[in-house]
A and B are shown apart, each in its own frame.
Chain A
């Protein structure tokens, strides 16, 4: 299957700083990428959908100014957690959809963010 690479896999940052997470589709072009957040022992909650070259669509309750998403190319989307707080500590997962396949999404390995 297609490969989605997420970087970094783990990051620890201080409160008030910003952290950028990258999501790359390695062997396909992804017109759409999704960002999820997974709390311990809970399911994945969709945060936002990003389409290449346009603004991301955020789910209700997700602060767009706090979670900045950029999808500048068909192979790269970034999520920046701005002014991080300890409650932002979580597991963030991206997925990307192959525009040719249209239906199936592939997942990155996730980023564990710890804000201290």
Chain B
């Protein structure tokens, strides 16, 4: 069965610190990978996605993620966080073939950035 694991449930950083949130998935076939962000009181928004090609994906607001197929990982990074990045971050995976169209989410990582 498809599953997504996010290693850190709660991360606290100071502004300007670097961020890396881990995401590992289990799925035997080709995957599409996503990172979503949920700001307090708001709905999910897509940060970035990987379908194919360059495994280093750049998203909005300075975020990037690297797909490492051998490690089944899709970690999210940002060189310098801001207070406005305080939110919950969800990694999600969808099988890319065989009509398997479910989007499965990780448990989420709650990021708090202090000024």
Contact = CB atoms under 8 A, between A and B. Distances in A.
Contacts of A103: 32, 49, 51, 94, 96
A77 interface: no
A37 B106 CA distance: 13
Nearest to B6: A43
A44 B34 CA distance: 14
A43 B103 contact: no
A43 B107 contact: yes
B90 interface: yes
Interface stretch (A13-21, A79-87, A104-112): A104-112
A109 B42 CA distance: 7
B interface, over-half SS: strand
A42 B108 contact: yes
A87 B44 CA distance: 24
A109 B101 contact: no
A61 interface: no
A49 B94 CA distance: 13
A107 B43 contact: yes
Contacts, number: 47
A43 B23 CA distance: 14
Contact of A43 (B45, B51, B102, B106): B106
Contacts of A44: 44, 90, 105
B103 A46 contact: yes
Interface string A14-56: 0000000000000000001010100001111110010000000
B13 interface: no
B43 A49 contact: no
Sort A-B residue pairs by CB-CB distance and give the 6 closest, nearest first. A109-B43, A107-B44, A43-B107, A44-B105, A43-B105, A43-B108
